[in-house]
Structure 1
Amino acid sequence: MELTLLGTGAPEGLPRPGCPCASCAAATGDAARAATALLLDGALLLDLTPGAAFAAARAGQSLTNVRQVLLTHPHEGPAVEVPTGVPQPGRVADGRELALLDGHRVRAVAVDVPGTGYEIGGTYGERLLYLPPGAAPAGAAAEGKGPYEMVVLDVLGRPDALARLRANGAVDAATDVIAVHIDHDTPPGEELHRRLAALGARAVPDGTSLLVGEYHAVPDLPRRTLVLGGARSGKSVEAERRLAAFPDVLYVATGGLRDGDTEWAARVSAHRERRPSSWRTAETCDLVPLLAGEDETGSGAGPGPGSGSAEKTADSPLLIDCLSLWLTHAMDEVGAWDDETWANGGERALHARVDELVAAVRATRRPLVAVSNEVGSGVVPATPAGRRFRDELGRLNASFAAECEHVLLVVAGQAITLRG
Structure 2
Amino acid sequence: MELVMLGTGAADGWPNPFCTCPSCLAALSRETIRGHTAALVDNRILLDCGPEVPRAASRFGRTLAHVEHILLTHSHPDHLGPMALLFRSWASRTEPLQVLGPPDALALCRDWVGPDDPVTFTPLETGQSIMLGTYRVRALEAAHEVPTLLYDITDASGTRIFWATDTGPLPESTVDALADARFDAVFLEETFGYKTDHGTGHHDLSSFAETVLRLRNCDAITDRTDVVAVHLGHHNPVENELSEALRVSGARAVPDGAVLEIGVGQSHRTLVTGGARSGKSTYAEGLLAGYRHVTYIATGDPQDDDPDWIERIASHRARRPSTWTTVETSDVTEIFAAATTPILLDCLGTWLTARLDRHQAWATEDLSAVHADIDRLADAWTACPVPIVAVTNEVGSGVVPDTKSGRLFRDLLGLVNSRIASESESVVLMTAGLPLSLRV
Same fold by TM-score greater than 0.5: yes
Aligned-partner Cα distance in 1 for 2:32–2:316: 36
Q: Which residue of 1 aligns with 2:121?
A: none
- 2:352 is aligned, of 312, 327, 330, to 327
- Partner of 2:361, secondary structure, is coil
Match among 368, 371, 382 for residue 362 of structure 1: 382
Cα 1:383–1:329 change in 2 (3 A) is same
**1:231-289, CA deviations, whole angstroms, 9 ceiling, x for partnerless residues?**
11000011100000023211111145434433333322221111112111111111110
Q: Deviation at 1:389? A: 0.8
Is 1:336 the equivalent of 2:361? yes
Does the CA-based 8 Å contact 2:15-2:33 persist in structure 1?
A: no
The equivalent residue for 1:146 is 181
Please tell me whether the aligned partners of residues 271 and 392 of structure 2 are also in contact (alpha carbons under 8 angstroms): yes
How many residues get paired? 314
Q: Describe the SS at the equivalent of 2:285.
A: helix
1:91 match = none
Distance 2:191 2:420 in 1: 30
1:277 is the counterpart of 2:322: yes
Residue number in structure 1 paired with 2:94: none
Instruction: Name the residue aligned to 2:335.
Output: 290
SS in 2 for 1:392: helix
Counterpart of 1:316?
Answer: 341
Question: Which residue does the alignment assign to 2:202?
Answer: none
Structure-2 change in CA distance of 1:418 and 1:184 (3 Å): farther
CA deviations 1:67-123 (Å, max 9, x no partner) are xxxxxxxxxxxxxxxxxxxxxxxxxxxxxxxxxxx8577587xxxxxxxxxx96789
Unaligned runs of 5+ residues in structure 1 are 43-51, 67-101, 109-118, 188-198, 206-215, 294-313
Distance 1:334 1:6 in 2: 51
Deviation, 1:176, is: 10
- Do the aligned partners of residues 253 and 394 (structure 1) sit closer, same or farther apart at CA in structure 2, a change above 3 Å counting? same
Match of 2:280 in 1: 235
Q: 2:398 is matched with which residue: 378, 383, 390?
A: 378
The residue identity in structure 2 corresponding to 1:170 is: A
TM-score under structure 1 length normalisation: 0.58
Contact 2:74 2:80 in 1 (8 A): no
Deviations 1:174-207 (A, max 9, x none): 99967222457349xxxxxxxxxxx8987779xx
Deviation of 1:152 (Å):
2.4
Tell me if structure 1 keeps the 8 A contact 2:14–2:27. Answer: no
Q: Report percent identity of matched pairs.
A: 34
What does 1:161-180 correspond to in 2, within 5 Å? 169-171=219-221, 179-180=230-231
Q: CA RMSD in A?
A: 5.3
Q: Please name the residue that 2:437 is paired with.
A: 417
Deviates most, 399-408 or 175-184 = 175-184
Partner of 1:265: 310
Name whichever of 141-150 and 221-230 sits farther off: 141-150
Query: Would you say 1:185 and 2:234 are equivalent positions?
Result: no
- Separation in 1 of the partners of 2:254 and 2:396? 37
Cα distance in 1 between the residues matched to 2:434 and 2:190 = 22
- Unaligned 5+ segments in structure 2 are 1-5, 38-49, 51-71, 84-101, 106-124, 128-139, 154-160, 194-204, 241-250
Residues 396 and 123 (structure 1), Cα distance of their counterparts in 2 relative to 1, 3 Å cut: closer
Q: Secondary structure at the match of 1:376?
A: coil
